[in-house]
Each structure stands twice: as C-alpha cells, then as structure tokens.
A = this chain, B = another copy of it.
Amino acid sequence: MSRTSRRRAVLEHPAPEEIDLFDVLHALSDPTRMTIVRTLSTEPERACGTFPVDVAPSTLSHHFKVLREAGLIHQREEANRRLTTLRAAELDERFPGMLTAVLGAYERSPGAR
C-alpha cells in the first residue's frame, strides 16, 4: 500500500518562471481548452468530468494534460477524483494581465456564454 495515494504518475506542474508563453498561447487556442479555463475562472475547484464540454473522456484527459504542462491549471488528487484549479495568481505573476485580457476577449467572442 502506498502511503500517498496517486492515480498513475506524479502530477508535474511547471514552476511559474518556467511557464512558456508559446505553450500558454497554444493551449488557449483550442475551444475546448478555452472552455475549461473559462469555467475555472469563475469557480474555485472542479472535477474533470464536470466541465461543459462535449468530447470523449480520453480526449478530455489529453486537454487537461496540455493545460497542466503549459502551467495554466493545477490538479490534485482527492479520492476518486482529480480536482482542477486555475493557476490565475501564478499566471498573473508571470505574465501580468494577460490571462485576464484573453478571458475578457473570450467573453466578447460569439457563443462564449
């Protein structure tokens, strides 16, 4: 029995100073991932399966990995679920005002709400 419960591998999160701008922009250039980020921007924490996106579970898993490795989200294990938060403060420390501006732009997009 392992003392620290983990689903599979240890979740890797880049340090704030390691976050790459191009990875972030690429991550945000996909509608499904943008929906995830937008949803997280208004709610503190959320389980993977509860996002308003319409893709297969395996596809969703892929998008979470992209977002996590880009430094946009943080994920932690809790029992059966994986809880996700937006790394808003760290993102804002690294790239001040950028995430806010992009999310604001998304709200102006057709079909964003």
Q: Identify which of A47-55, A82-90, A103-111 touches chain B.
A: A103-111
* Complex contact A28–B31 (CB within 8 A): no
Partner of A25, one of B28, B96, B97, B108: B28
Residues of chain B lying within 8 A (CB to CB) of residue A101: 95-98, 100-102
Q: Given A25-B28, A29-B26, decide whether A96 and B104 contact each other with a Cβ distance below 8 A.
A: yes
Can you identify 17 A-B contacts, CB atoms within 8 angstroms? A20-B109, A21-B102, A21-B105, A22-B29, A22-B34, A25-B25, A25-B29, A26-B29, A29-B29, A95-B101, A95-B104, A96-B104, A97-B97, A97-B101, A98-B101, A98-B105, A100-B101
